[in-house]
């Protein structure tokens, strides 16, 4: 019997903060969270409904996260990476 294993090393996560002015309620937050998790299951996502801010700790790029949010009907205004 052959057993294969691998370990991913050197993967860097970043924190991406996005202003999403179209967030109106917890339903919007859930939709955005699901959209990101469908593409990046390991992402850590926080949605601040009151301030309309989405924060994602991820290995995905800012452009990817913004695209996934846009695909579910929300508008991404700005971001910062760090």
Reported as a single tens digit per residue, the pLDDT across 20-61 is: 999 999 999 999 999 999 999 999 999 999 999 999 999 999
pLDDT at 82: 47
In a domain, 6, yes or no: no
In a domain, 67, yes or no: yes
- Please count the other Cβ atoms lying within 10 Å of the Cβ belonging to residue 26: 10
> pTM for the whole thing?
0.81
Query: CATH number, domain at 65?
Result: 3.30.70.100
Distance from C-alpha of 49 to C-alpha of 37, rounded to nearest angstrom: 18
Tell me the pLDDT band of 3, cut-offs 50, 70 and 90: low
Structural domain that includes position 65? 14-81
Whether residue 17 contacts residue 37, with contact meaning beta carbons closer than 8 Å, is answered with no
Query: Is 45 a member of any domain?
Result: yes
């Amino acid at each position: 019997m052959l057993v294969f294993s691998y370990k991913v090393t050197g993967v860097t996560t970043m924190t991406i903060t996005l202003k999403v002015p179209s967030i109106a309620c917890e339903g919007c937050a859930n939709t955005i969270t699901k959209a990101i998790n469908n593409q990046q299951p390991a992402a850590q996502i926080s949605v601040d409904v009151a301030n309309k801010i989405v924060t994602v700790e991820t290995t995905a790029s800012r452009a990817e996260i913004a695209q996934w949010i846009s695909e579910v009907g929300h508008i991404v205004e700005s971001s910062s990476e760090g």
